[in-house]
Structure 1
Amino acid sequence: MSEGKKNITRRDFLKTTGVATGALIGGGIIGGLVGFNMDKTDQGVSNVGKENHAMPTPRGMQFFQNTRDFEVLSNATERIFPKDDLGPGAIELGVPYFIDHQLAGQYGSNSREYMHGPFAVGAATQGYQSRLTRGAIFRQGITLLEAEANKRFDTGFSSLEGEQMDEILTAFQNDEIPMAGTTSAFFFRLLRSATLEGAYSDPMYGGNNNMDAWRMKEFPGHQMAYINLIEDEKFQKIEPMSLGEM
C-alpha cells in the first residue's frame, strides 16, 4: 500500500466511494475498508480484551454458539469498519450483534428466497448463486478465518495484529481460500455488506449504537418533517432520530 493511501482518512474514503451519500459500495475494493485508516497507532486493531477495544455490553448471541466465533466475527468487522478519530468502529456500534441477530432470522435462513436446484456456477453479475444459506456461509467463513490464522501465524484470528488480520481478509477477498459450496470472495462480500448495513441501519435493528454512524455522516435519520428548514439555503445539522423515537 502506498504512503498516500495509508494517510487517507475514513471520511475521505466515504466521500469518494459514495458511502457518504447513502450508497453501499460494490465488490472489489479492499483498500477502501479492510485495513483502512491504519496509522502508526493501528487504531483498527480490535482484539477482544485489548485496551480501548473492549466488547460492548453483551446482549446475548442468537446465532453463534460460542464466544470464539463471535470474537472472530467482531474483529473481522472492526478491520472493515475501524474506530478512528471521527468516531467508533464496528464493535462499539454493535455491528457484531446486528449480524448475529440477522443471521438468526430470515436473512440467515434465506427463507424468502428460492433455494432449490438445479444449481450451477453463475456469472459474477448474477448475485446470490450458492445452495448454502447465508447462515451456513457465515459459519463456514468464520471457521476458516480462524483456521487460516492458525495456519499462517500459529494463533487464533482474534489474537492477531491488525495487519495480520488484513492479510487473511485480503486472501478471502481475492478468492484464495477454498470454501465448500461457495467462494471465499462471496463470503467476504457478504461480510462487508453486513458490516456496513449494521453500522448505518436504524438502531432498532441492533447496530448503529447511539446513532453514532449517522452522526459521522451528518445524516438526520427519520425526521417527522423539514418544513421549517426546507427553504433555508444553509446546510442544516440536525440531531438524528431513529424509528424507535418517533
Structure 2
Amino acid sequence: MADENNKNEKELTEEQRMSRRRFIKNSGLAAGGLVVGGVAGGLIPWGGTKHDNKTQNAAQKETRKDYNHALMFFTQAEFKTVEAAVERIFPTDENGPGAKDLGVGYYIDHQLAGSWGFNARDYMQPPFYHGEKSQGYQGRMRRREIFRIGLKEMQNYSQSKYKKNFEDLTEDQQDKVLKDFEGDKVNLTTISPSGFFDMLRSSVLEGAYSDPLYGGNKDMAGWSMREYPGDQMGYTNIIDKDFQKIKPQSLQDHM
C-alpha cells in the first residue's frame, strides 16, 4: 500500500513539472513577453500564426480615435454652422485639405472654451467706448459671447435671405452671407458684423497653422502645404547644408 502511494506521488509530481513547463513555454516567459510584444504578444504560443505588421498598423490607424476632436463649447448645431463657415474661408483645393478636414472647427471650439474665449488677458472693466480700428476690440462682451451671437445672426440672415440654414446653402450663397458680414451689410445692434467676421477669419488661419496639439492642423497637413518644418528641436545636423525640405514635427513628437 505504501509503495503504491509513493508511486502515485511521483506521477503527480512529474505531471506538475510538465504543467509548469507548458505554462512557461506558452506564456513567452511572461516578463519577456511584456517587454517585447506586450501582454497579448507574450501569451501567443511558440510556433503560432504570425501577423503582418503593416496590415495590423494600418487597421489600428484606421480605427484610432482622435480624442482631441471633442466639443468643449459649441453645441452640435453651432458646430455645423462653424464647419460650414470655416470651409468657405479656407476651402479644400488642389493644394490640400480645407479647414474642415484640418479640424479648424475644433481649434476654435477649444479656444473659446479656454482663457481666450473669456478674454482672461484683456482689460474688461468699464467705461466702454467705441474705439478706432487700430485700437482693437473695446467692448464688454467676451469672445465666446460674440461667437455665439454671430453664429445665431448668420443663421437668422441666411433664413431671411434664402429660407435655409447657413450649412444648407450652396457655396456661392454661403460666400455671399460671409461677404455681407465682412462688409457690414447686415444690420445688427448687438455686435459688429465685420468685427465678428474678422475674428472668425483670424481664428481659421490660426487653426490651420497652429500645432496639432490645439485641435487644428490635423496630421500637420497645414504645415505640409506651406513646407513649414513645424516644431523642430534643432537644425544643427543640416545648418551647414544646402536648403532642403524637412518633414514637419509636432510638439507631441518630442514626448
- Which TM-score bucket, shorter chain as reference? 0.7 to 0.9
SS in 2 for 1:191: helix
Q: Secondary structure at 1:118's aligned position in 2?
A: coil
Asked if the contact 1:64/1:100 (under 8 Å) is kept, the reply is: yes
Q: TM-score, normalised by structure 1?
A: 0.74
The question of whether the paired residues in 2 share the 8 Å contact of 1:74 and 1:91 is answered with yes
Quick check: 2:150–2:191 contact (8 Å CA) kept in 1?
Answer: no
Please tell me whether Structure 1 or Structure 2 has the larger radius of gyration of its CA atoms.
2
- For 1:177-188, what aligned pairs fall within 5 Å after superposition? 177-188=186-197
The 2-side partners of 1:205 and 1:153 are apart by 35
Query: C-alpha distance in 2, partners of 1:87/1:171?
Result: 27
Runs of 5+ in structure 2 lacking a partner? Answer: 1-64
Match of 2:245 in 1: 237
Q: Distance in 2 between matches of 1:209 and 1:74?
A: 14
Distance 2:152 2:183 in 1: 18
Secondary structure in 2 matching 1:70: helix
C-alpha separation in 2, matches of 1:57 and 1:148: 34
Other-structure match for 2:161: 152
Amino acid at match of 1:165: Q
Q: What secondary structure sits across from 1:108 in the alignment? A: coil
Q: How many equivalent residue pairs?
A: 189
Identity %: 45
Cα 1:180/1:63, change in 2 over 3 Å: farther
2:70 and 2:251 map into 1 onto residues whose CA distance is: 23
Q: Does residue 205 of structure 1 match 2:214?
A: yes
Aligned Cα RMSD in Å? 1.5
Unaligned runs of 5+ in 1: 1-55
Give, as a single letter, the amino acid of the residue that structure 1 aligns with 2:133: A
**Aligned-residue offset at 1:167:** 0.3
Aligned to 2:55: none
CA offset at residue 180 of structure 1? 3.6
1:225 corresponds to: 234
Higher helix content, 1 or 2:
2
Contact 1:130 1:182 in 2 (8 A): no
Q: How far 1:57 moved relative to its partner?
A: 7.0
Q: Equivalent residue for 1:191?
A: 200
Shift of 1:203: 0.5
Q: Which has the higher contact order (CA 8 A, sep 6+)?
A: 1
Q: Which residue of 2 aligns with 1:43?
A: none
